[in-house]
Structure 1
């Protein structure tokens, strides 16, 4: 006789806890009911932190946010069928972003597959190519003790794979659980056969030690380190120019502005992590006159910029010191770029854009604040307008870099870090895409430490600065195609959305929205009206100022115009060239 479903569910949940998985997001369903009862039982005993969500897509991103905030695997639990399919966007993000996300998907028993039974699909193959590991915990007819041993071994191995075991980076795994029935247990505290003594996991693997190839970097040659999402820069000497994306912790060091790269000629570049934000970085990595060193990261993982690399190594050791003249040239370029941005934003403050909101937000956040930044323009704006304040940690879904699930991910982070203020900075389309994540059951815990700042430019502002934003595509010749398929303005009332979900709302158009930012008064949404039509002009004006200023300082010459920069200049007083 097959193991009773509630016993198998209890065994699986127990083994997950033994392996350090204590954060669960559960989605209601019949087939996964035994898992739900097991989780409630363990939550009442204080063993797990349990959250319940209706929308599986949102639930998966909440779990992803929990995992990012805690650095440990978090699990999303669903019933069978399309419920599992809804997890794919978050699984893709966890894969590319190296986030330890565990999918626990209930399934129909094997004999039901291929029969057309209700809510029955071939869900065990949904995530092929996206997960580090997948296992189907069977309901074999071999007695509870034997099945329990197999189940514990399979679950324990899956968590190891999720958490960077077997020579791979952190990432998502799927544990598929076919259950012959979804009936609730006859008693509330079902327990299966015991696991290892002293609460140990069934399978343990010693931590991986640093090993592999190493390359020495001679700093006598002009060098730049480019650090993208996931980079670890603690071994990079402080005097090396560092271009780091906002999600990289730089331990109090100053980040070189990415646009400064267009006016510098390094001889060698070291790439850590996955830099995907700025075209100035992409252009640098493709230059033939630069020797490119790329850190491989975990074995078998994709290697960013590998096609251009001169050498790929696991570790880099930096020898010597940067030449003083090179260091001075870098700092001069960085200072000029920042001055040009400051001046242009000051002169256009009466017509605010997302750039202006980002600058004011960075001036308002405080040490120990956690900042979750949405994809598209917000994360780029944060990287362009100012340096991050010391002690502020930035999170963002940079794996696949989609706008999907941003609100849910920020909620997950806030739930996992309840003693710290979490501030999410997003655009209007990102907010509207994931607004349903503001829905909470009346019995569920809402974060009281989350503020969501929405820069509302009524559409897709990022396209204004790309090739699609060229003025000709916005004219009559193309029949307004730009606004319809790229601008995409929506008829959405953000205040009404907040009211519908019982979330505090504040309009920030009076300019006083920064007051009390990060205060603990429940979830709050602050909406700020901005303009996207001037973004292209601002980018072009900053670029023009930089081009003029660079020729007067230290022999720095303009290298190239950033791809996609607009040709129109922003207007306003004081448009003369910035000087050194």
Structure 2
């Protein structure tokens, strides 16, 4: 029978300890390398087993006080490794605090395993302390909720039941069961939170050679008919977060968000979309960063093709005509179309470089992004905060080759960015991780810098805080129109949109034992080079202004418009000159 003890002479230990050992062992067998643990009473048996297995090198363990932060640390680990990490909590509101990171993982398709300790079933619904209906708390955002059997350990099939339940959950979360990767919840009812009397007590065996109880090779998604695209029609590819461009022909022009790996092909500036109208647009991933993408996809005269398997739907493409997982590209792209795209892209980038070359514009988030991009090296990981930082990077320049860009683009929130960057740094100790965030994003998740005295602190994380004293992105939205900053609104804009915080970032970093420096934009590049060699987490605060953002964007736009108008006029004049100087056609030629 399946239930066998590793040492038959040893009597079975308590049910919570055995169940916890089975769950942890099967997680390891299913490829879980990182576990983020949150302290609590009910999940104590899980914690002891995790600590024991971490001491043997079977897993890497990080203990975090705050469940919300812990979940984002695990998310950052999963995002940077493309492998599921696990976060373990106690019961009650601890589970509720996982929701923000779980929502991000859901919408960005990141595998994440939530192991939630629970009260035993007989206590649920009795009003006992820290008892909630926690298997229903996250159901709208998780791929699967798997309650673990925690009954009579004398049943001969308990070992097989528990192990198979863990395998099923991890298989679904990893995307091996006909679905996209995403978060799953493994709920573990434990009759007691007591530590085991013998931490090294044996537990029922798993499969031989460390294999999972159930092997789950990745299964192909349901087939979607192929679709042929004729490249003789003017075509552009738009690639959003999560896009896989492996099979995209290199000659096809691509406007890709910063988190998309485009290989060796050129990355078109997002403003290119404002100056042309392609006949067909091919969409990969989830493009949610730039508003002009939604405007283009909504045009009925443009054939929009979404490359996907049907698991996702692009909300911004109401006029989408085709969904296919197998695009087949036929024909050759017109040299004239390619030339037009490159000319517009070059013009846009020249004007942005001109605007940022003005010293008056350097003390903005765009100026900071420009310096950070110039300071990156091949092999670096760049973590971008939501709101302006990722947009600034997209607008100001080109990403250096060999740099991996990560960001929480699933729901694009400012929460959890410091914690997630910490997770990425912990998971990639051989690479320098540079996080570029705004001051509100930093203040919101500053507790991500909180580490227990016994925990590993990343020594490869540099956090650049572009401090414009508030929400700079609203300066560029409709709410930032100057008319809303005058009476009768008065200070309302600053209060409900700008929201400057009374936070001293230097003192906040000191409270968390993180190194801090205030750096002017002009010195940021040199300081970043120096900070690389310090081998510790460093926060670089860069004072900037947001008051001029709207004018800066306007200047860039006007420069592009004027340059393109001038180029168009010159092109028309050259064509007219050619026509007037061309020889008259022979009378014996016929034209149709």
Q: Same fold (TM over 0.5)?
A: yes
- 3-state SS, counterpart of residue 115 of structure 2: strand
- 3-state SS, counterpart of residue 511 of structure 1: helix
**1:418 aligned residue:** 429
Q: Deviations 1:410-430 (Å, cap 9, x if unpaired)?
A: 000000000100000000000
TM-score normalised by structure 2 residue count? 0.91
* Count of residue correspondences: 556
Residues 1:175 and 2:186 aligned together: yes
Residues 1:221 and 2:233 aligned together: yes
**1:551 aligned residue:** 565
Is the contact made by 2:294 and 2:317 (CA closer than 8 Å) also made in structure 1?
A: no
* CA–CA separation in structure 1 for the residues paired with 2:570 and 2:558: 15
* CA–CA separation in structure 2 for the residues paired with 1:126 and 1:426: 30
* CA–CA separation in structure 2 for the residues paired with 1:556 and 1:404: 49
Residues 1:93 and 2:107 aligned together: no
Deviation at 1:188, TM superposition (A): 1.6
Q: Deviations 1:453-472 (Å, cap 9, x if unpaired)?
A: 00000000000000000111
Deviation at 1:240, TM superposition (A): 1.3
**1:530 aligned residue:** 544
Deviation at 1:253, TM superposition (A): 2.0
Is the contact made by 1:3 and 1:144 (CA closer than 8 Å) also made in structure 2?
A: no
Residues 1:69 and 2:80 aligned together: yes
Deviation at 1:306, TM superposition (A): 4.9
> What aligned pairs does 1:21-420 form with structure 2 within 5 A after superposition?
21-141=32-152, 143=154, 145-209=156-220, 211-297=223-309, 299-349=310-360, 352-420=363-431
Q: Please, which moves more after superposition, 410-419 or 348-357?
A: 348-357
* CA–CA separation in structure 2 for the residues paired with 1:543 and 1:380: 15
Residues 1:540 and 2:554 aligned together: yes
Question: Could you say if the C-alpha distance between residues 18 and 70 of structure 1 is closer, same or farther in structure 2, counting changes exceeding 3 Å?
Answer: same
* CA–CA separation in structure 1 for the residues paired with 2:569 and 2:86: 55
Deviation at 1:352, TM superposition (A): 1.0
Is the contact made by 1:239 and 1:321 (CA closer than 8 Å) also made in structure 2?
A: no
Is the contact made by 2:298 and 2:318 (CA closer than 8 Å) also made in structure 1?
A: no
Is the contact made by 1:109 and 1:180 (CA closer than 8 Å) also made in structure 2?
A: yes
Deviation at 1:138, TM superposition (A): 2.3
Structure of greater Rg: 2
> Unaligned stretches of 5+ in structure 2?
1-11, 572-592
Q: Please, which moves more after superposition, 515-524 or 167-176?
A: 515-524
Is the contact made by 2:298 and 2:317 (CA closer than 8 Å) also made in structure 1?
A: no
* CA–CA separation in structure 1 for the residues paired with 2:502 and 2:333: 54
**1:4 aligned residue:** 15
* CA–CA separation in structure 1 for the residues paired with 2:224 and 2:148: 34
Q: Please, which moves more after superposition, 400-409 or 511-520?
A: 511-520
Deviation at 1:190, TM superposition (A): 3.2
Is the contact made by 2:361 and 2:367 (CA closer than 8 Å) also made in structure 1?
A: no
* CA–CA separation in structure 1 for the residues paired with 2:470 and 2:174: 38
Is the contact made by 2:383 and 2:433 (CA closer than 8 Å) also made in structure 1?
A: yes
* CA–CA separation in structure 2 for the residues paired with 1:15 and 1:328: 56
Deviation at 1:296, TM superposition (A): 2.3
Is the contact made by 1:10 and 1:190 (CA closer than 8 Å) also made in structure 2?
A: no
- 3-state SS, counterpart of residue 540 of structure 2: strand
Is the contact made by 1:422 and 1:518 (CA closer than 8 Å) also made in structure 2?
A: no
Is the contact made by 2:238 and 2:255 (CA closer than 8 Å) also made in structure 1?
A: yes
Is the contact made by 1:294 and 1:305 (CA closer than 8 Å) also made in structure 2?
A: no
Deviation at 1:3, TM superposition (A): 6.4
Decide which of 504, 513, 521 is 2:535's aligned counterpart.
521
Q: Superposition RMSD on alpha carbons, in Å?
A: 1.7
Deviation at 1:124, TM superposition (A): 0.5
Is the contact made by 1:427 and 1:457 (CA closer than 8 Å) also made in structure 2?
A: yes
Deviation at 1:14, TM superposition (A): 0.3
Decide which of 460, 473, 490 is 2:484's aligned counterpart.
473
Deviation at 1:520, TM superposition (A): 4.3
Q: Please, which moves more after superposition, 228-237 or 300-309?
A: 300-309
Deviation at 1:216, TM superposition (A): 1.2
Q: Deviations 1:121-155 (Å, cap 9, x if unpaired)?
A: 11110111211111100212262542221110100
* CA–CA separation in structure 2 for the residues paired with 1:180 and 1:463: 51
Decide which of 454, 457, 469 is 1:446's aligned counterpart.
457
Is the contact made by 1:370 and 1:393 (CA closer than 8 Å) also made in structure 2?
A: yes
* CA–CA separation in structure 2 for the residues paired with 1:469 and 1:488: 13
TM-score normalised by structure 1 residue count? 0.93
* CA–CA separation in structure 1 for the residues paired with 2:485 and 2:351: 28
> What aligned pairs does 1:470-509 form with structure 2 within 5 A after superposition?
470-509=481-520
Deviation at 1:289, TM superposition (A): 1.9
Deviation at 1:305, TM superposition (A): 3.9
* CA–CA separation in structure 2 for the residues paired with 1:440 and 1:447: 10
Deviation at 1:307, TM superposition (A): 2.7
Q: Please, which moves more after superposition, 449-458 or 210-219?
A: 210-219
Question: Could you say if the C-alpha distance between residues 460 and 85 of structure 1 is closer, same or farther in structure 2, counting changes exceeding 3 Å?
Answer: same
Is the contact made by 1:38 and 1:190 (CA closer than 8 Å) also made in structure 2?
A: no
Deviation at 1:23, TM superposition (A): 0.5
* CA–CA separation in structure 2 for the residues paired with 1:440 and 1:455: 24
